[in-house]
Structures are given as structure tokens and as C-alpha cells.
Amino acid sequence: MAMEISPGKTTIGWIGTGIMGAPMAGHLLRAGYQLSVHNRTRSKAEPLLQQGATWADSPADCAADADVIFTIVGFPADVEQVHLGDKGIIHSIRKGAIVVDMTTSEPSLAKRLADEYRQKGVSSLDAPVSGGDVGAREARLAIMVGGEQDAFETVLPLFELMGKNIAYMGPAGAGQHTKMCNQILIAGTMIGVCESLIYAAKAGLDQSAVIDIISKGAAGCWSISNLGPRIIKRDFAPGFIVEHFIKDMKIALSEAKAMNLKLPGLELVEKLYERLAQIGSQHDGTHALIRVLEEMAGE
């Protein structure tokens, strides 16, 4: 019998309360769900605790009473530690529960987690998201999901509180592979957005007016509409940080290599972002790429 998801019956664990995780968890709280939260830095969870969430001292503690537990952390090593480490979820999760990792991570790790949890009678989903800080705050994320379809259908009401475009993509790892497609496209798009605005400035155009007109035609995309104005204001506060994007591109390049696939565009952009991190922008938003391109253009 499938688990029934409802605020009165379902207890949720949430690990990772950063730029994306905090607002996503907040949507579940406001919908009336009982939430136990854990984060490496407790202060980042304080707003959720003030809204009624309860604090857990470790991932294992967070998972102990959870029907569904979500994780959204930084790097694959963090995912492995949170799930399989000494105080990891796997040591306390109850049979019949569902684990959902929303970190952008390695497809191979998603498959490994699915295998490990299956032995415990637990279902596992890999469900990375796209939409940045704005999408997280506005509950308009795209959520791409891999794993057991029955588990996906069970958790769907919770996904619908966080996103507007939700798709089941296939077995374990399929969500992460889909997110790699997303990140490859974003990488190519971002260099286009930045070079377009550099060109506009050099030509003496009003960059805001350029964004307004070209975003309504074939060049229209989320990045030019949402990050273009931030670039003009030199507001590089992160919606998604550079060091995490570099991590994603490295995963995509590694997966491509394993498939004997060459992605020269992605290789180029990854090198540009490595340079961006070297000049001190590793904690800026991904749109800070314009700093490197301006440097190369002699601006």
C-alpha cells in the first residue's frame, strides 16, 4: 500500500538549508507539514526553526522519524557523507520511507544510493532542480526525477509545493543525467549572455534596452531576463554559486568521457569558470562570468 502524503500524516526530514534548500523547505512548512531539519551550520536553519521546524543534531537524527527525507547539499562528497557516513541517514531511516536527494550530484552516486537503500526496504529518488534562488523562493522550480516511479508518484504532492515543472525521467540516475543536460545548456547560454552585454556596452547601447528587446525574440531565455539585469547592476550575489557550477560541469565532462563523448563548448566554459574562481569569484553567482570575459576583451 502506497504511503499517503498529507500534512496531518506525513513527517518530513530536511537536510541542507542554503540558498536553495531553505526556501524549498519553507514551502513545506507553510503547507502544514511537520519538519525536522539539519544543516552543517545551524544558523542557516534558524529562520525555519522560527517558523516551527525542529532541529536535529545529525542526518541520522533527522531521518529517524521521517516518512520522507530530503537532502540538498553542496558536493557529491557531502551527499555521500549525509547519506552513508557515520551519522548518515541510512543508519536510522525506517523501512518503507522515501529518501529524496535534490542535490546536483553524480548519476553513479544516485544509483549507488538507490542500491544501498533498497537493501533497507527504502525507496530513493534523485531529484535535482533548476530555477535558481528565484525559482526556489517562488516555488517555480523545474524538478527532474530518477528512481522508482511508484515513489515518484507518492512524493509528487510535495514536489508540487516546490516546483511548477516536474518530470519523471527514468530509473535511478536519470534525474541527475537530465540535470547535466540542463547545466550543459546553461553553460553555453551564460557565455552568450555575457558576451552579448559586453558587445552592447562597447557599441554604446543601453544594455537594459537591449535585454528588453532581444529577450522577446529568438534569443529570449531565463538567463538574459533574470541574470542580465543583475549583470548590468554589477550585482553578483549568488542565485547559484560559481564553485557549485564548476562541480556540475566537471561531473558532466566526466560522464561524457565515460560515454566517449566530446563536448568542446562545455570544456571551454568550464575553463573560463575555473579562471573566474581564481580571481576570487568562487562564491559569486554564475553570472559573474562576465568578469573573466571583460578581462579577456580588454575592458
> Is pLDDT at 188 greater than 90 in this prediction?
yes
- Condensed to tens digits (0 to 9), the pLDDT of residues 152-162 reads 999 999 999 99
Judge contact between 172 and 101, C-beta under 8 A.
Answer: no
Whole-model pTM: value is 0.92
Residue % of the chain over a pLDDT of 70: 99
- Condensed to tens digits (0 to 9), the pLDDT of residues 77-100 reads 999 999 999 999 999 999 999 999
| CATH node for 11-172 | 3.40.50.720
The distance from CA 115 to its chain's CA centroid, rounded to whole angstroms, is 22
* Residue whose entry in the numeric block shows the C-alpha cell 560515454: 259
Positions annotated as catalytic residues are 179
Compute how many other C-beta atoms are within 10 angstroms of the C-beta atom of residue 253: 18
Confidence (pLDDT) at 245:
96
In this structure, whether the domain defined by 178-297 belongs to CATH 2.10.260.10 is answered with no
Instruction: Indicate the domain borders of the chain.
Output: 11-172, 178-297
Q: Residue 141 phi/psi, 5° resolution?
A: -70, 155
Confidence (pLDDT) at 132:
85
In the Cβ-directed half-sphere of 49, how many Cα atoms lie within 13 Å?
13
Question: What is the distance between the alpha carbons of residues 246 and 221, in angstroms, rounded to a whole number?
Answer: 21
Instruction: State the maximum Cα–Cα separation within the chain, in Å, rounded to a whole number.
Output: 65
Closest alpha carbon to 287 in 216, 207, 195: 195
Confidence (pLDDT) at 3:
83
Compute how many other C-beta atoms are within 10 angstroms of the C-beta atom of residue 41: 9
Mean pLDDT of 123-150: 95
Compute how many other C-beta atoms are within 10 angstroms of the C-beta atom of residue 142: 18
> Is pLDDT at 2 greater than 70 in this prediction?
no
- 3 state SS for the chain: CCCCCCCCCCEEEEECCCCCHHHHHHHHHHCCCEEEEECCCHHHHHHHHHCCCEECCCHHHHHCCCCEEEECCCCHHHHHHHHHCCCCHHHCCCCCCEEEECCCCCHHHHHHHHHHHHCCCCEEEECCEECHHHHHHCCCEEEEEEECHHHHHHHHHHHCCCEEEEEEEECCCHHHHHHHHHHHHHHHHHHHHHHHHHHHHHCCCCHHHHHHHHCCCCCCCHHHHHCHHHHHCCCCCCCCEHHHHHHHHHHHHHHHHHCCCCCHHHHHHHHHHHHHHHHHHCCCEHHHHHHHHHHHHCC
Mean pLDDT of 31-60: 96
- Condensed to tens digits (0 to 9), the pLDDT of residues 224-270 reads 999 999 999 999 999 889 999 999 999 999 999 999 999 999 999 99
Using CA of residue 251, residue 254, residue 260, residue 262, what is the dihedral sign? positive
Distances (CA, A) of 27 to 20, 30, 44: 12, 5, 16
Question: What is the distance between the alpha carbons of residues 27 and 17, in angstroms, rounded to a whole number?
Answer: 12
